[in-house]
Amino acid sequence: MPEFAYTDLLPLGPDATEYRLLTADGITRRQAFGRDFLEVDPEVLTLIAREGMRDIAHLLRPGHLRQLRAILDDPEASRNDRFVAADLLKNACIAAGGVLPMCQDTGTAIVMGKRGGQVLTDGQEGLLVPPGNGGKMASALAHMLDHADERARMGRIGRATAQRYGWPLVADRVLDVYERALWRRSHPEVNPLVQQTAAGLR
């Protein structure tokens, strides 16, 4: 029986994180009860939360980017290693501009154990496996690795599917809903079925 060893849930160690200063305003040092406290304005907390969520969603850590660059500089890296590293760096550039790239955007086949909506169709854009089933997940991944043609086909289908959910198309659909609603409001005397047909022809 292995010997029990306790480990802190969130152990603290050397912090090599590269920080940047957001603001020095709205932060005041106060003294009370023989101790020092920081008084932080609510606007500063909002700024920290907004910038932090943006950085988490859109930016890769500098150390991660250096690791990807090291793969490109490594003479022993395979062509596949270089391709993946270069693709991730391209995605990092896209994400830094405020756009979130997805696997489907880049034409990459997907293996998923959990999903939402009706974006991924099993056998079309990728493979679906039962959530929590590690064996089937491993088998699906091995299948994709061994079938390059099928992987490429699913990637192409996935990219076409992702384009149907692009923001320009979504914006057009939302705008169409508002236009229909405004038309119906300005023509209350028209039968609802006629309203729907007429608004669709506008």
Give residue 149's pLDDT: 85
Going by C-beta distance under 8 Å and a sequence separation of 6 or more, which residues neighbour residue 91?
A: 101, 106
Give residue 147's pLDDT: 85
What residue spans define the domains of the chain?
27-58, 112-165, 169-201
Give residue 73's pLDDT: 92
- Report helix angle 62-73 to 79-96, nearest 10: 150
Query: What is the gyration radius of the CA atoms in the chain, in angstroms?
Result: 26
**pLDDT for residue 120 is more than 60:** no
Cα angle: 79, vertex 98, 62; to 5 degrees: 55
By CB neighbour count within 10 A (0-12 exposed, 13-18 middle, 19+ buried), where does 101 fall?
middle
In 10 A of CB 107, how many CB atoms?
A: 17
Q: What is the mean pLDDT of residues 127-145?
A: 81
Question: In sequence order, what are the beta bridge partners of 126?
Answer: 110, 122
Question: In sequence order, what are the beta bridge partners of 112?
Answer: 128
Question: In terms of pLDDT, which residue wins out, 154 or 43?
Answer: 43
Least confident range of 24-28, 50-54, 98-102, 140-144: 98-102
CB 127 within 8 A of CB 143: yes
- State the average pLDDT for the chain: 77
Residue 112 phi, psi (nearest 5): -130, 145
Task: Give the whole-angstrom CA distance, residue 82 versus residue 74.
Answer: 9
**pLDDT for residue 138 is more than 60:** yes
Beta strands 126-128 and 35-40 are: unpaired
For residue range 3-30, what is the model confidence (pLDDT) as tens digits? 877 777 777 888 887 888 999 899 898 8
CB 39 within 8 A of CB 27: yes
Residue 111 phi, psi (nearest 5): -120, 120
